[in-house]
């Protein structure tokens, strides 16, 4: 179990490295099944960028009329893209991207080679015990995807139970949403998406016989939970608008059309999913949006029983629940913005008693139950904390100490109820990913694995700092920064930010980052409001009517880094993805002179247009984050005031690389396409503006570990080109 402010910790899933990106994603829609080719380059190399046609279109809301001459780029047949004009424009932009990057292909290859050389190609995860088996995953040298293995505890024959490389054969994209082995170890179920549309198909394999079951479940988008002595599989199915408003039970050996719907969500914007309690005795059905949640309980032995409500939903109240014996443990913001922990009898789940009170200083982000103790996770002054607590000693708390002053740490793969050692993950900006076992009795840490950097890595060459930069309203914004000790002050600097959904960008380790740092750049992370880096209030100060704090913080951090001598105006490259791409769009509108290059990945830039269209899959659930401009004029005018697409003006803009995914169901392809089209004819400079659309992928870009790394290399090459950074 975890806080609603932190992605739920799926222990076994973490162990075998199934989970994709932890970052929360901005609103968008749809999925398109299109050409598997990444780009279509015309036979003749273009000598000028494409200029999209402007077609008259306007709409009015709250007495305000908005002109949108690029509205036509949204294909009305979406998620099928069949408008020839739309496809021609997207392909023309891809051809322009290829033409402009062609002189830099050798550099892209060099950067890609050095990034790849930092990866241990035949890497394996640390095995995790779960019942009678140990589970782990491995990469083979040269392979794009993982293989999943297990062996009997104590030794025995190793069994390959899933090879994602085989699943990917014949496909340019593949993503695994979940892999779930039944409790008795006989079956494995997995869900796979082969075009980036985030509609996953479930398959089931009998691990005793090696045969695939005929059971196939289409259009899922949740975790997979085994129940009823492994005779049933629980999941959520996405409707035509990608919303998961139901929880269903599939009985093994039956047609999916006969599956029973055990929970139905009727509130627009809420999504539902099912999980398993830590003691594996209860199914927990969770439903909610970005600010409100509700939970129901069902016995895992009989998921067709009547569900028991924990606490009725109340707008603004979030909670998550787990079970030990006859007691519920609840993590909630009901009594304190930074969350507190409560208990309640299973017989009266709404009767909460406070176990751990909320704190203005300590932000509770996670609660995980084990048989003999429980663990709270959180942040103090922006740094991760892991604490072991005891059921029979309420006042005792063992803080796990970590060796550095700035780091990222948390629970790793802990698949079992009865544990005497906890698996932990730890890293910092100069410490590669490290897997520990923490002995609860002796309070000692044992190193199990440290990420290897085959090409070599010497942390003594680098300096890490944690700055506090004042912004325009007097708030101190933390900044994590790493650079080589021999770097000259005032040189180029890369600044990364996100700032939405209460997602904290941790000061962790990145192998790709050192392609920047080893070329004399500093690399900085701005922990701006909108994330929850400094607690829940830090998040709330960057959403809804206070959304512009996020953009102002980023701009003022950039100016502060110039003022402190770390870099100079125009020598900063900036990057962000999704809602972080919205951030990029807002800051180049506000202060374009600061930046010498900007990468906006799948940017959520048509904020007003998307938030007005409640037919789009994620829009209703996003209103608590951004505001509802359909019903509120105040929300309409506020979003209009910062929506990057709507606020493009005639001014100089920095060189920009914008990416999109034609099958992206979160930030649809037309948002970056419209934005780039408008920028082309409005901006007053001659700086490079590129749009690259992945024609066979979605929000996360290319799926293979090397293919995705090549895109990182392209982005780095673009930035070095524009900033004049040499090899």
Q: Which residue has the tokens 């003749």?
A: 44
In the 8-state DSSP scheme, what is residue 666? S
Q: How far apart are CA 641 and CA 647, in angstroms?
A: 7
Strands, sheet with 293-299, edge to edge from the N-terminal-most edge strand = 271-276, 282-288, 293-299, 308-309
* 590 Cβ neighbours under 8 A, 6+ residues apart: 551, 552, 555
Angle (CA) 37 43 44, round 5°: 135
Q: How far apart are CA 630 and CA 662, in angstroms?
A: 27
Q: How far apart are CA 124 and CA 140, in angstroms?
A: 9
- What is the token pair recorded at 51? 């200029």
Q: Which residue has the tokens 């890293």?
A: 427
Q: How far apart are CA 480 and CA 197, in angstroms?
A: 34
Q: Is 498 helix (H, G, I), strand (E, B) or coil?
A: coil
How many Å from the N-terminal Cα to the C-terminal Cα in the chain? 47
* 282 Cβ neighbours under 8 A, 6+ residues apart: 276, 297, 298, 299, 300, 323
Q: Which helix (H) or strand (E) holds 106?
A: helix 105-117
Query: In Å, what is the CA distance from 608 to each residue of 56, 76, 163, 504, 623?
Result: 18, 18, 42, 25, 11
**Active-site pick, 71, 342, 638, 699:** 699
DSSP for 580-633 reads HHHHHHHHHHH-GGGEEEEEEES----HHHHHH-TTSTTHHHHHHHH--TTT-H
Pairing of strands 572-577, 421-428: unpaired
Query: 125: closest CA among 197, 179, 53?
Result: 179
Main-chain dihedrals φ then ψ at residue 508, nearest 5 degrees: -95, -170
**For 136-158, b where at least 16 C-beta lie within 10 A, e where not — what string?**
bbebeeebbbbbbbbeeeeeeee
Angle subtended by helix axes 705-723 and 84-101, to nearest 10: 60
Which residue intervals of 205-279 are DSSP H helices? none
* 476 Cβ neighbours under 8 A, 6+ residues apart: 468, 469, 470
**Active-site pick, 172, 556, 664, 712:** 664
Q: Which residue has the tokens 């990222």?
A: 408
Q: Is 311 helix (H, G, I), strand (E, B) or coil?
A: coil
Q: How far apart are CA 609 and CA 617, in angstroms?
A: 13
Q: How far apart are CA 431 and CA 451, in angstroms?
A: 9
Q: How many CA atoms lie within 13 A of 531 on its CB side?
A: 27
**Active-site pick, 578, 606, 643, 646:** 578
Q: Is-catalytic flag, 699? A: yes
Angle (CA) 1 182 330, round 5°: 15
Pairing of strands 689-694, 656-661: parallel
Q: Where are the beta strands (DSSP E) in 207-326?
A: 212-220, 225-227, 232-235, 246-251, 260-264, 271-276, 282-288, 293-299, 308-309, 319-324
Q: Residues with catalytic annotation? A: 578, 664, 699
């Amino acid at each position: 179990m975890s806080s609603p402010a932190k992605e739920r910790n799926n222990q076994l899933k973490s162990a075998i490295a199934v989970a994709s990106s932890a970052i929360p994603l901005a609103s968008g829609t749809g999925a398109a099944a299109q050409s598997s080719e990444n780009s279509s380059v015309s036979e003749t190399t273009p000598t000028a960028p494409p200029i999209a046609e402007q077609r008259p279109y306007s709409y009015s809301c709250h007495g305000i009329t908005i002109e949108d001459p690029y509205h036509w780029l949204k294909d009305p047949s979406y998620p099928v893209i069949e408008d020839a004009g739309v496809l021609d424009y997207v392909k023309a932009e891809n051809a322009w991207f290829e033409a402009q990057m062609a002189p830099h292909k050798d550099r892209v290859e060099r950067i890609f080679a050095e990034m790849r050389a930092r990866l241990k190609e035949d890497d394996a995860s640390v095995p995790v015990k779960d019942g009678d088996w140990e589970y782990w995953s491995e990469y083979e040298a040269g392979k794009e995807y993982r293989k999943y293995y297990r062996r009997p505890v104590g030794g025995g024959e190793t069994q390959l139970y899933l090879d994602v490389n085989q699943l990917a054969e014949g496909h340019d994209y593949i993503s695994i949403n979940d892999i779930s082995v039944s409790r008795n170890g006989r079956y494995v179920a997995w869900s796979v998406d082969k075009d980036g549309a985030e509609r996953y198909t479930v398959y089931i394999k009998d691990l005793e016989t090696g045969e695939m079951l005929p059971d196939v479940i289409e259009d899922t988008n949740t975790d997979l939970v085994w129940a009823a002595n492994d005779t049933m599989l629980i999941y959520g199915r996405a409707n035509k608008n990608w919303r998961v408003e139901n929880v269903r039970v599939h009985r093994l050996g039956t047609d999916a059309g006969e599956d029973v719907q055990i929970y139905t969500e009727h509130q627009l914007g809420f999504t539902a999913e099912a999980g398993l309690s830590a003691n594996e005795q209860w199914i927990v059905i969770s439903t909610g949006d970005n600010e409100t949640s509700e939970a129901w309980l069902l016995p895992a032995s009989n998921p067709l029983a009547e569900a028991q409500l924990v606490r009725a939903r109340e707008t603004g109240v979030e909670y998550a629940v787990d079970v030990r014996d006859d007691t519920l443990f609840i993590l909630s913001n009901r009594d304190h913005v930074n969350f507190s922990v409560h208990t309640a009898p299973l017989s009266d789940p709404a009767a909460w008693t406070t176990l751990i009170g909320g704190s203005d200083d300590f932000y509770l982000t996670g609660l995980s139950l084990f048989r003999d103790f429980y663990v709270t996770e959180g942040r103090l002054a922006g740094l991760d904390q892991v604490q072991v607590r005891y059921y029979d000693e309420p006042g005792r708390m063992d803080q796990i100490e970590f060796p550095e002053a700035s780091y990222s740490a948390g629970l790793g793969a802990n698949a079992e109820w009865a544990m005497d050692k906890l698996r932990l993950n730890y890293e910092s900006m100069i410490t590669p990913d490290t897997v520990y076992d923490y002995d609860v009795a002796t309070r000692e840490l044992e190193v199990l694995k440290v990420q290897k950097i085959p090409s070599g890595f010497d942390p003594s060459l680098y300096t890490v700092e944690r700055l506090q930069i004042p912004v325009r309203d007097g708030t101190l914004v933390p900044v994590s920064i790493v650079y080589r000790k021999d770097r000259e002050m005032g040189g180029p600097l890369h600044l990364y930010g996100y700032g939405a959904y209460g997602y904290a960008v941790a000061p962790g380790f990145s192998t790709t980052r050192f392609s920047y740092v080893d070329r004399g750049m500093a690399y900085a992370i701005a922990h701006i409001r909108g994330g929850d880096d400094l607690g829940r209030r830090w998040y709330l100060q960057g959403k809804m009517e206070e959304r512009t704090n996020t953009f102002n913080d980023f701009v003022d951090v950039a100016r502060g880094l110039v003022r402190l001598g770390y870099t100079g105006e125009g020598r900063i490259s900036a990057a962000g993805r999704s809602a972080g791409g919205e951030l990029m769009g807002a800051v180049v509108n506000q202060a374009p002179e600061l930046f010498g290059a900007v990468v906006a990945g799948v940017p959520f830039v048509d904020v007003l247009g998307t938030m007005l269209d409640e037919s789009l899959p994620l829009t209703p659930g996003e209103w608590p984050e951004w505001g509802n401009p359909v019903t509120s004029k105040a929300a309409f005018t506020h979003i209009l005031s910062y929506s990057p697409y709507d606020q493009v003006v005639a001014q100089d803009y920095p060189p920009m690389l914008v990416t999109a995914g034609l099958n992206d169901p979160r930030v649809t392809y037309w948002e970056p396409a419209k934005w780039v089209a408008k920028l082309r004819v409005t901006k007053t400079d001659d700086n490079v503006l590129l749009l690259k659309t992945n024609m066979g992928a979605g929000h996360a870009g290319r799926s293979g570990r090397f293919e995705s790394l090549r895109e990182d290399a392209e982005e780095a090459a673009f930035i070095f080109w524009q900033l004049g950074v040499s090899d």
